[in-house]
Amino acid sequence: MSTVTIVLIGPPAAGKTRLGKRLAKRLGLPFVDTDAVVVARHGAIAEIFAEHGEPYFRALERAAVAEAVAQPGIVSVGGGAVLDPDTQADLASTRVVLLTVRPEAIAARITNRKRPLVTDLESWKRLVAARTPLYQSLADYTADTSTRPIETIVEEIARWVEEGDHDL
């Protein structure tokens, strides 16, 4: 188990960070949130977007993802991190869990203004529709986070990881 890297992908507000922390604790692995790494090193994501633009942010994000997936653990990546071809290549040597969420469950989660590409439910829906085929193509396992208790989802993913416990 100690050599496994599990990457959580999915749309903004699907619960990647929240679920990732609990999954890491459940499996006894370290947890890294690549958005938190970028924020700690470079400041708020919304400010990076405003001051330097999306390409600059994506370069910072790419560096954080490359560093995180090189180590065993649970890695939560930002919703758009998978757009980078190098990140897609990195994910081939990890186990990828796609967290999905239905629009009706998302409205309350996206009101905190922390997400520069998601300003309302309609922008979230457009972003998810555009990225869903890519998310699905990268995923080894999919879990919907819309209404089920987080602990139930954590247990399901943990069982999936433990049942397939082998080095990739």
Residues 6+ apart with CB under 8 A from 140: 95, 96, 97
- pTM greater than 0.85 (yes/no): yes
Choice between 103 and 142, residue whose per-residue pLDDT is larger: 142
Predicted confidence (pLDDT) at residue 167 exceeds the cutoff of 90: no
CATH of 5-162 given 3.40.50.2300, 3.40.50.261, 3.40.50.300, 3.30.360.10: 3.40.50.300
Tokens of 51: 């001051």
What are the extents of the domains in the chain? 5-162
> Per residue in 74-126, pLDDT tens?
999 999 999 999 999 999 999 999 999 988 787 766 655 555 555 677 888 89
The token pair at 134 is 């890519």
Number of C-beta neighbours around residue 30 at 10 A: 13
pLDDT of residue 168: 42
